[in-house]
Amino acid sequence: MAEEFDADLIEAARKTFAGPVAFLKSAPALQHLPEADVPEVAFAGRSNVGKSSLLNALTNRNGLARTSNTPGRTQELNFFDVGEPLRFRLVDMPGYGFAEAPKDIVKKWRFLVNDFLRGRSTLKRALVLIDSRHGIKPVDREVMDMLDAAAVSYRLVLTKADKIKASELAAVAERTAEEARKRPAAHPEIIATSSEKGLGIAELRAAVLEAVS
């Protein structure tokens, strides 16, 4: 399902995320972005895909990324510094695909994210989160199209893998990997994760460290 990461990389990633991780700033528009001076890895996903919970599990900090029951609550790019001295940044992108949002909000999201993806020289990889229970949706494909067009390398990450049977997880992982292999900017290997159970978190940390190294 997921590639095997080198044990040394797994351990280096564990140590990295055991060190300092801190919220830097929110950017509602491009002029508010921090200096592009260190590598960045961005997290993208549909509203309620479990993005905030996964970021908290990844960094082993309960309240780093705020979780919300209101889809579309986050409409800014949130930046987190990792390492002391600073090694890289995580970027929490606004959730997409929320039906209740006004059209002008959706339009603003598209412009902000598209401009960020196209113009950010330090963005090394995007992680596109897919809910294991639902698989890839049309709105996920729109974001993948955006990433392909911007030539931003990305990896598909399954969330909430503990919520379905192992056989169903294997099937959705295979379908997801099959779609990834057809995409020019997508990494062919999938990582299945569970924020609650810790599944795939070590591998996800390794994938982040690998992307910025």
Q: Of the given ranges (98-102, 103-107, 137-141, 163-167), which has the lowest mean pLDDT?
A: 98-102
- Beta-bridge mates of residue 123: 40
Class of CATH domain 7-212: alpha beta
pLDDT (0 to 100) of residue 110: 84
pTM: 0.93
Residue boundaries of the structural domains of the chain: 7-212
Helix (H) or strand (E) holding 84: none
Mapping DSSP to helix (H, G, I), strand (E, B) and coil, where does residue 109 land?
helix
Using alpha carbons, list the distances in angstroms from residue 178 to 3, 40, 156, 169, 181.
15, 27, 11, 14, 5
Q: What is the pLDDT of residues 33-57, one digit of tens each?
A: 999 999 999 999 998 899 999 999 9
